[in-house]
Amino acid sequence: MTEIIRGSAEDSDLVRTADAPEPEAPGQQVSESAYRRLRRMVVLATVTVSLLPLAITMVINYVQFRGALQAEAVDPMARLTLNTKRSLELFLSERRSGLTFLALDRPFSELCDRSSLTRMISNLNRSLEIGTFVDLGIIDDSGNQLCYSGPYKLEGRNYLDQDWFHEVARRGTYTSDVFLGFRESPHFAIATKHDRPDGGFYILRATIDAEMLSEQILTTGLEPTSDVFLIDREGILQSPSRRYGEVLTAIPLTVPHYSPSVEVVELKDDRDLAIFMSSAYIHNSPFVLIQIQPAEEAMGRWFTLRSELLGFLAVSAGLILTVILWGSGQLIRRMREADERRAALYHQVEYSNKLASIGRLAAGVAHEINNPLAIINEKAGLLLDLVMVGPETPHQERLAATVDSILRSVQRCKKVTQRLLGFARHMDVRTETIDLEALLREVLGFLEKEAEYRDLTVSFRVQDDLPTVASDRGQLQQVFLNILNNAFAAVSEGGHIGIEIAHEDADHVAVTIADDGVGISKEHLQRIFEPFFTTKSGTGTGLGLSITYGIVKKLGGRCRVESEAGRGTRFTVVLPISREG
Amino acid sequence: MDQLRLLFVDDEEELVSAVIERLELRGIEGVGATSGGEALHHLREGSFDVVVLDIKMPGIGGLEVLRTINRRHPEVKVILMTGHGSAEDNEIGRRLGAIAYLEKPVDLEDLLTIVDQAVNGKAGGPDGR
């Protein structure tokens, strides 16, 4: 039978083609949030085990490197401070020795003479190479200035009430703080005590230009960034500081506690600058040597290394996080896919089981009906036989017609039970030689009544010399019943369904079932093969087409669907002519 | 040729009696049996050309009767009959040498055509396969 049916090739450019996707279970099987939770946990666990050891290693490295580099920065500083301290101590002790030499060189009687004192100053300054002594005076044990040579008018002064006098009397030597002396320039004084042959003692006291101290400090070869100066024990600058001001001003730092050796501490100064401060007390003097170096300069190498370490940490952490996030995403996606496949499979099995139970029920019903049907058949046959062989009676013809009618009804019943049995048979793939047209007509038999009631036209167009296909009868019946059911559901009263069987290629036959029904929207078209996807809210299981797809795939074929909302749907099942394997 | 003798076996008494009567009306000597045991008894007592056997019967089933026939009366042709056409039974029946496999309800004229063909040697019997 050949008829022209709607939705054929000429308007195929109006319809969308959707290649059948792999069946995919929707997310509602396991909730979205469960996967998110799982992913969070996986990420948290992997991040902890990978980043924690890295962080610990980094902290250990940080502390160790910092310690090592700090020592590297601090040690030279301490050494330099120690050297400067020694040279300052030597400087002071040379001056004291000079005074002691004078006292030993001449008897007391020759000392106390102004002109000889002046000569002595000049000799001392020459012998010590650096012109340092500004004045020289002799004080007796009563504190009286016996004689003096220098720019001040000090002769006749008494020092008995002064602390330094008592100190020199007690300890033998004395070095003073820096004070503003001659011409308002800073000076300091040293004094030594000497015994007189006639008993008692006298003191030699000399004033020295404080500039000498600064020169001593500068000759020790300091780094340009460091600041070295002297303070007294009250924190008053005894030599100028680059950072903290001029002589005789107070430094804004705490005076370090006394220690016989060099001490280095890290602290913040008044301008909140991180500094290293090394300090040393100068022996036999009120001076404390201080060296200041900004931490940034001292620890320059450390800061470079630190940024390298932190950079490395950041890059590794970033890399690890990226890999973990990506990996966990992949993992969860795979897991989810597997879950969904399992759920789909489970539902397919469930559906097959349901079909199998329906099949068993149908087989039972058919069997139970066939036996009484056989009796009716034979009894009616017998009745007909008897009527025909017997003598002619007035009702013979009517009787024969009646029996014939009974027999036709029996044949109709037989057709129904045979169909039921046909569906009940073999759920597994069983290859038979199948005439597709006959099979489709058989399936249509189930829908005949509905078509009649709803005034639907079903047309067949079958290509000439189509081969039979080797496939599974029961499964194909299920496939076409499903598709036809959908087509019937899609069309409205008086609608048209066209069935076309034609060669797809040399090895395949295509069965196309086209309807002029409601069609499928673009969004739905991509999902129609998904299990549980349904537009028949409430009534559909959403399994029909996914199972259809599964069966066709199992039979070595493929499905194709083209549809346009409002215009209709063309559903094509392509089947192999011979079944390999 | 002698008169055709046919044994019709089915557990439905009503069916058997109707079939036998119809056969007689056609001049065929039909014997009915309503169980496998009874069928074997008839086979021992007399000779038959064709046996029509229902597969599903309580007690000795059709296939078992067929096996016995193959052993003891290999010359007898067997037609199987069933209320539901199980493909497995069909296959077993064919392997056991049944010449045909019919689904109930069976049209008597169809049955007689097959019987005629079988007896006149057109269809392969157990020996001819």
Cβ contacts (< 8 Å) between B103 and chain A: which residues?
370, 414, 418
Both A456 and A564 in one domain: the answer is yes
Q: Least CA distance to B89: which residue of chain A?
A: A425
Q: Please indicate, yes or no, if residue B116 is contained in any of the structural domains.
A: no
Cβ–Cβ contacts within 10 Å for residue A104, how many?
A: 9
Q: Is A386 on the interface with B (CB under 8 A)?
A: yes
Instruction: Fill in the amino acid letter for A193.
Output: K
Both A101 and A26 in one domain: the answer is no
Strand partners, A229: A290
Model pLDDT, residue A279:
93
Model pLDDT, residue A464:
84
Q: Least CA distance to A373: which residue of chain B?
A: B105
Query: How many Å apart are CA A244 and CA B21, to the nearest integer?
Result: 140
Overall average pLDDT of the B81-109 stretch: 80
Both A145 and A20 in one domain: the answer is no
Overall average pLDDT of the A190-201 stretch: 87
Q: Which domain holds residue B83?
A: 5-106
Q: Please indicate, yes or no, if residue A44 is contained in any of the structural domains.
A: no
Residue of B52, B53, B102, B104 to mutate when probing chain A, most A C-beta within 10 A: B104
| Tokens standing for residue A349 | 């099995």
The mean predicted confidence, pLDDT, of chain A is 82
Q: Is A371 on the interface with B (CB under 8 A)?
A: yes
The CATH number of residue B52's host domain is 3.40.50.2300
CA distance A414 to chain B (A): 7
Residue A162 has pLDDT above 80, yes or no: yes
Residue pLDDT, tens place only, A231-283: 999 999 998 888 888 888 998 888 899 988 899 888 888 888 888 899 999 99
- Please state the domain count of chain A: 2
Cβ contacts (< 8 Å) between A418 and chain B: which residues?
85, 103
Domain boundary among A275, A298, A321: A298
CA distance A463 to chain B (A): 31
CB pairs under 8 A between A and B: 68
Model pLDDT, residue A424:
60
* Helix orientation angle between A396-424 and A300-389, rounded to the nearest 10 degrees: 160
Q: Please indicate, yes or no, if residue A97 is contained in any of the structural domains.
A: yes
Q: Which of B18, B25, B104 sits opposite A373 (nearest CB)?
A: B104
Residue of A371, A403, A418, A430 to mutate when probing chain B, most B C-beta within 10 A: A371
Overall average pLDDT of the A443-461 stretch: 85
- Please state the domain count of chain B: 1
CA nearest to A387, candidates A399, A375, A378, A402: A399
Q: Please indicate, yes or no, if residue A353 is contained in any of the structural domains.
A: no
Model pLDDT, residue A282:
92
| Tokens standing for residue A494 | 């008086």
Residue B91 has pLDDT above 80, yes or no: no
Answer whether A418 sits within 8 Å of B103, measured CB to CB: yes
Lowest mean pLDDT among A108-112, A336-340, B4-8: A108-112
CA distance A424 to chain B (A): 9
Residue pLDDT, tens place only, A509-550: 999 999 988 888 877 777 777 655 666 655 555 556 777 887
Would you mind telling me the total number of residues written for chain A in this entry? 581
Model pLDDT, residue A425:
57
Instruction: Fill in the amino acid letter for A104.
Output: L
CA nearest to A545, candidates A516, A578, A569, A580: A569
Which helix (H) or strand (E) is A228 found in, with range? strand A227-231
Q: Please indicate, yes or no, if residue A469 is contained in any of the structural domains.
A: yes
More confident residue, A122 or B41: B41
Overall average pLDDT of the B30-42 stretch: 93
Of the ranges A7-21, A314-328, A407-421, B53-67, the best mean pLDDT one = A314-328
CA nearest to B5, candidates B67, B62, B75: B75
Q: Is B88 on the interface with A (CB under 8 A)?
A: no
**Can you say whether the dihedral through the CA atoms of A118, A119, A123, A129 is positive or negative?**
positive
pTM score, whole prediction: 0.45
Both A8 and A105 in one domain: the answer is no
Query: How many Å apart are CA A549 and CA A436, to the nearest integer?
Result: 18
Overall average pLDDT of the A338-354 stretch: 77
Contact assessment for residue A435 and residue A442, using Cβ atoms and an 8 Å cutoff: no
Domain boundary among A262, A277, A298: A298
Of the ranges A189-203, A449-463, B28-42, the best mean pLDDT one = B28-42
| Tokens standing for residue A78 | 């301490």
Q: Is B22 on the interface with A (CB under 8 A)?
A: yes
Would you mind telling me the total number of residues written for chain B in this entry? 129
Which helix (H) or strand (E) is B62 found in, with range? helix B62-72
Q: What is the DSSP letter of A394?
A: T
Cβ–Cβ contacts within 10 Å for residue B15, how many?
A: 26
Both A5 and A82 in one domain: the answer is no
Contact assessment for residue A567 and residue A15, using Cβ atoms and an 8 Å cutoff: yes
Q: Please indicate, yes or no, if residue A191 is contained in any of the structural domains.
A: yes
The CATH number of residue A530's host domain is 3.30.565.10
Residue pLDDT, tens place only, B52-63: 999 888 888 888
More confident residue, A391 or A21: A391
Q: Please indicate, yes or no, if residue B100 is contained in any of the structural domains.
A: yes
Instruction: Fill in the amino acid letter for A17.
Output: T
More confident residue, A116 or A262: A262
Q: Which domain holds residue A111?
A: 68-298
Q: Least CA distance to B105: which residue of chain A?
A: A374
Residue A478 has pLDDT above 50, yes or no: yes
**Can you say whether the dihedral through the CA atoms of B61, B67, B69, B75 is positive or negative?**
positive
Q: How far is CA A412 from CA A43, A234, A416, B85, in A?
A: 67, 127, 6, 17
Burial label, A198 (beta-carbon count in 10 A; 0-12, 13-18, 19+): exposed
The mean predicted confidence, pLDDT, of chain B is 84
Q: Please indicate, yes or no, if residue B115 is contained in any of the structural domains.
A: no
Overall average pLDDT of the A342-358 stretch: 74
Q: How far is CA A407 from CA A216, A295, A393, A416, B54, in A?
A: 140, 115, 21, 14, 21
Domain boundary among A298, A333, A360: A298
